[in-house]
């Protein structure tokens, strides 16, 4: 069971994502801001971050930048309703494992979390290190 941190300023979106994460057999923790996400990342083990891209104050891009700055290797899946392809490409450049376009389906969320976990498993890291 993976520990998934859900970051979204919209209560309904945050609750739905957490519910879908739980339905997929993982343990969700939901927060409403980048600041709260950084606190959680500092205080507890997190296997995957699932973050909204557009939030008031600090955005999902800011979270990716701050995680990089702090050398946090936790995989990040970005959720967005934005159609801005350049912005979405920027999230991938900054290390997001995938992008979910809202509205996304249960299967899409489950696959994105599984992919993020697979890319960052100890065996995946060993294979990458050996290359």
Give the model's confidence band at 80: pLDDT under 50 very low, under 70 low, under 90 confident, else very high: very high
Q: Where are the domains of the chain?
A: 3-130
Its pTM stands at 0.89
Residue 41: its H or E element: helix 34-43
Q: What is the CATH number of domain 3-130?
A: 3.40.50.2300
Say which residue, 130 or 17, is predicted with more confidence. 17
Give the model's confidence band at 128: pLDDT under 50 very low, under 70 low, under 90 confident, else very high: very low
């Amino acid at each position: 069971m993976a520990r998934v941190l859900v970051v979204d300023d919209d209560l309904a979106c945050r609750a739905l994502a957490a519910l879908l994460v739980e339905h997929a057999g993982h343990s969700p923790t939901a927060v409403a801001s980048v600041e709260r996400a950084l606190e959680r990342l500092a205080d507890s083990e997190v296997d995957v971050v699932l973050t909204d891209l557009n939030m008031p104050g600090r955005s999902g891009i800011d979270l990716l930048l701050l995680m990089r700055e702090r050398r946090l290797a936790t995989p990040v899946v970005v959720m967005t309703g934005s159609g801005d392809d350049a912005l979405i490409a920027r999230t991938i450049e900054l290390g997001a494992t995938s992008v979910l376009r809202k509205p996304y389906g249960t299967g899409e969320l489950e696959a994105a979390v599984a992919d993020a976990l697979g890319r960052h498993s100890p065996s995946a890291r060993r294979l990458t290190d050996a290359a």
